[in-house]
Structure 1
C-alpha cells in the first residue's frame, strides 16, 4: 500500500485537488482502517530511549510550551561512549514524570520502519518529507498554539490527544517566517472558535497545511503521535532562482546613481521602476531559458533535501564479488541520474557520462543503451543488458554497485 494512503481515505487525485495546501483534513481510523503500531509503539519508544544511544539534536523535551534544558536529560554513556549529549534514560524518566513532552526528531534517519515509510511518502507527495515523534504524559501539553512552516500529517500512534485547529494568521509561511513573528495574532486567533476541535485516537490522521494555527493536549493516557512534515517547494523558490540567474545581466549589475540616499523613498522610487522595467524586459526576452533555469534550481533543492535509499557497504561488496550473468540488480531507489553524451558539447564523442547528484561516471559510448536500461528502474542482469555481452555487462554492473548506483536484489 502507498504510504500516503495510510494517512488519507480519499484518492491521491482528490487530495491534491481539494485538500493539499488548502485546508485541514481529519481522517478517522475507521475510514482507513488501520493503525501505525508498525511504525512506532510505546515499547519502541522505550527501546530508542534506553538502548539506541540517541544524541541531540535528535531529541528534545518541552514542558508547558517551554523547552527543557538538555543537560537535564542527556549525559555521557560511560566507558567507550563518553559523549556528553546522549539521551540519559534516568533524566528522561525524571522530566517525563514531571510532565515534559519527549520529542524524537529525525526518525527518518535512524528508525528503520520510518525510514521506509518516509521514502514512500516522499515518492507519493513529490516534496521532501521528514518525521518526528511526540510523546506526551497524560493531561499535558508540549507547546503553545503555533503554526508550522511545513505541512504535516499527524498520525496518532497510541493514547489520545485533543487537537484544536484555527484559521491561519499568515497564509503559506516560508521557512524563514516562523510563528513567533505573529505571536500576538496567534494568541488572539486561538481564542476564536476552532475549525477543528477533535480528540485523535490510535489510527487517526490529521493533515494540516503550513500556517494553520494548532495546539494539542494529551488526555487520560500517555499519547504518542508522529508528525510527518512535508517541506513544499514553492513558486518563491523558482522566483529566487530566476533572480539569481539575472546576475549575468550587465544592466542589473550596474551601480545605482551616486548620492541616491535610499532611505528617501521618494528619490529611490524612480530607480526602482527602472529596475522593474529591466526585469520585465529581460524575463520576456529570456523566458524559455529562465524557465529551464528555474526548473533546474527546483530539482537541485529537492535533491539537497532528500536522500536515496541507504546502501549496505558490506553486503554490496559481497554482491560485487559474487556477481554472475544471472544476478539481478536494480537502480537505487530515490537516486536521481541521467545519461549525458559528451560528444554533444564538443568533448570526447567516444564516451558517455552517467550524471549523479554528487558525481559523474564515464563509460565507453557503447554502454549507453545499458545505462538507459538500468535508469528505467526495472531489475536487470549482466546477461540481459542491451548492447553488451555478459562479460562487459559484468564490468559495468560491478562498477555501478561499487559507486552505490545499483543495489543487489
Structure 2
C-alpha cells in the first residue's frame, strides 16, 4: 500500500504529532492529481436515486440547500458563481475512489467512512464550519483557498439550512492546488472557497457519538437477550392510591434489569456488526448466473477473489464481520478471511480450506465479492 499521501512524513510520526491534534498541509501529496471523474460525470451521478448528493448555493448572506437526486435540467441551469455540488459516498460507485480511500488505511478500516467530492463554481463553498470527525482534503482540478482556525467558539448561525459558524476568525490561510492535501482534526473550524472552477475530494472518518453508540448497542442487545420468568406479585395488598406505581414493582423491575449482562465478547461482536453495516442506500447485486460451488472453487484458485467496493469487512478475535453480519469461525479459516479483510482481495493460487471456501461461496452468491482477474491476464496500463 502506497503511503505517499503523507509526503516525507512517516505514518507513526503523523499519528503521533498530528492525528486528532493539529492540522497538516502536504504539498503535492499526489503530484499532478487530476481528479477521478469529470464535472459532467459527477453531475450524472447526482441524478441517480441511489447516490446521496446536495447542492449548496450562496446568495449574499443567505444559504440555499437542495438534496438530490437532481434533474439534469436543474444542474444545467446553475449560476456562474457561488454554488457547490456535493456527492457523498463516491467510493461506493467508483472503484478509483475506493482505491483512493484505501490509501488512508493506515487508520483502521473500522474508522474510514467515505469519499465525498465537491464541485464548485468560482466563489463556491459551504461556509465556515467544523466537522466532528477527522478529514483529509485532497485538491483535484482547480484551486481552493482554505482558511482554518483552532477557535473554541463553535456556535452556529440560527435557522440556517446548514451548519455555518456564527463567528469565524481565520488564523491560517492556504491555497491548495491539484495534488495538495490538507488534514484537519475534529472540530477544527475551516472554510473552503473555490478561486476558480474546482473539485475537492474529502476522505472522512467515522466518529459516532457516545449517545449513538449506547442507543445502537441497546438495539443490538434487544434481539439477543433472553430473561426467563415473568413479573409476579403474589403478596399484593389493597392499594389506597391505585394510580401510584408501587415501590415493590419498581424494585422488581430494577432487579430484572440489573440482570442484563455483557462483556468484551458481546461488545466486540456489536462493534463488528455496527461498524460493518452498509449505508442505507447500498444494494448488492448477486451474480445473474452464479457458478456452482465446484466451478467457483476452481475459478477462485485460478483468479483469486476481490471484495465488492461496497462491502465493509472487519474481523475480531472470534469472528469476521461483513456488511452487518457476524460469522463466527475457528482460528484457521478466520486467519484466511482476515487477510481478505485487510487486503480486500485474496490472490490467485491461495489454498483455501473447505470452511473458508464455503463462506466465500456464500458471499459470492450474495454479491459481497467477485472473482478476480484471470491469473494470466496482463497488468493494466499505468
TM (norm. structure 1) is: 0.61
Equivalent position of 2:193 in the other structure? 217
Aligned length in residues:
327
Unaligned runs of 5+ in 2: 228-253, 341-345, 373-382
The C-alpha deviation readout for 1:278-305, integer Å capped at 9, x for no partner, is 9xxx9xxx8xx54554444433332236
SS in 1 for 2:273: helix
| CA RMSD in angstroms, aligned pairs only | 4.9
Instruction: State whether residues 339 and 371 of structure 1, in contact with CA within 8 Å, keep that contact through their aligned partners in structure 2.
Output: no
Measure the CA separation in 2 of the matches of 1:133 and 1:227.
Answer: 6
More helix by share: 1
SS in 1 for 2:152: coil
Equivalent position of 2:202 in the other structure? 227
Higher mean displacement: 397-406 or 154-163: 397-406
- Residue 375 of structure 1, aligned match among 319, 322, 337: 337
Instruction: State whether residues 25 and 183 of structure 2, in contact with CA within 8 Å, keep that contact through their aligned partners in structure 1.
Output: yes
Deviation at residue 246 of structure 1 after TM alignment: 11
Measure the CA separation in 1 of the matches of 2:289 and 2:164.
Answer: 54
Deviation at residue 225 of structure 1 after TM alignment: 1.0
Instruction: State whether residues 319 and 408 of structure 1, in contact with CA within 8 Å, keep that contact through their aligned partners in structure 2.
Output: no
Instruction: State whether residues 273 and 326 of structure 2, in contact with CA within 8 Å, keep that contact through their aligned partners in structure 1.
Output: no
The C-alpha deviation readout for 1:138-170, integer Å capped at 9, x for no partner, is 2x1322211122221111101111111011426
Measure the CA separation in 2 of the matches of 1:186 and 1:400.
Answer: 45
Deviation at residue 239 of structure 1 after TM alignment: 6.7
Relative to structure 1, the CA distance from residue 6 to residue 66 in structure 2 (aligned partners, 3 Å threshold; closer, same or farther) is farther
SS in 2 for 1:20: coil
Measure the CA separation in 2 of the matches of 1:91 and 1:112.
Answer: 27
The C-alpha deviation readout for 1:35-84, integer Å capped at 9, x for no partner, is 432524xxx1212325874347424232256554649xx7xxxxxxxxxx
Question: Is residue 140 of structure 2 the alignment partner of residue 131 of structure 1?
Answer: no
Relative to structure 1, the CA distance from residue 315 to residue 37 in structure 2 (aligned partners, 3 Å threshold; closer, same or farther) is farther
The C-alpha deviation readout for 1:96-126, integer Å capped at 9, x for no partner, is 4253222223222223311332245356443
Deviation at residue 316 of structure 1 after TM alignment: 7.7
Equivalent position of 1:101 in the other structure? 84
Equivalent position of 1:46 in the other structure? 40
SS in 1 for 2:287: helix
Relative to structure 1, the CA distance from residue 355 to residue 324 in structure 2 (aligned partners, 3 Å threshold; closer, same or farther) is closer
- Residue 172 of structure 2, aligned match among 187, 193, 196: 196
SS in 1 for 2:339: coil
Aligned residue runs from structure 1 range 56-95, under 5 A: 57-64=52-59, 66-68=62-64, 70=66, 85-88=69-72, 90-95=73-78
Instruction: State whether residues 241 and 294 of structure 1, in contact with CA within 8 Å, keep that contact through their aligned partners in structure 2.
Output: no
Instruction: State whether residues 85 and 118 of structure 2, in contact with CA within 8 Å, keep that contact through their aligned partners in structure 1.
Output: yes
Relative to structure 1, the CA distance from residue 397 to residue 99 in structure 2 (aligned partners, 3 Å threshold; closer, same or farther) is closer
SS in 2 for 1:187: coil
Measure the CA separation in 2 of the matches of 1:19 and 1:151.
Answer: 11
Measure the CA separation in 1 of the matches of 2:8 and 2:317.
Answer: 39
Relative to structure 1, the CA distance from residue 18 to residue 329 in structure 2 (aligned partners, 3 Å threshold; closer, same or farther) is same
Instruction: State whether residues 63 and 141 of structure 1, in contact with CA within 8 Å, keep that contact through their aligned partners in structure 2.
Output: yes
SS in 1 for 2:173: strand
SS in 2 for 1:317: coil
The C-alpha deviation readout for 1:298-347, integer Å capped at 9, x for no partner, is 3333223679x99764388258574454535347474246797xxxxxxx
Deviation at residue 200 of structure 1 after TM alignment: 1.0
Measure the CA separation in 2 of the matches of 1:33 and 1:380.
Answer: 27
Question: Is residue 324 of structure 2 the alignment partner of residue 329 of structure 1?
Answer: no
SS in 1 for 2:364: helix
Deviation at residue 224 of structure 1 after TM alignment: 1.5
Instruction: State whether residues 168 and 213 of structure 1, in contact with CA within 8 Å, keep that contact through their aligned partners in structure 2.
Output: yes
Unaligned runs of 5+ in 1: 75-84, 172-177, 250-277, 341-352
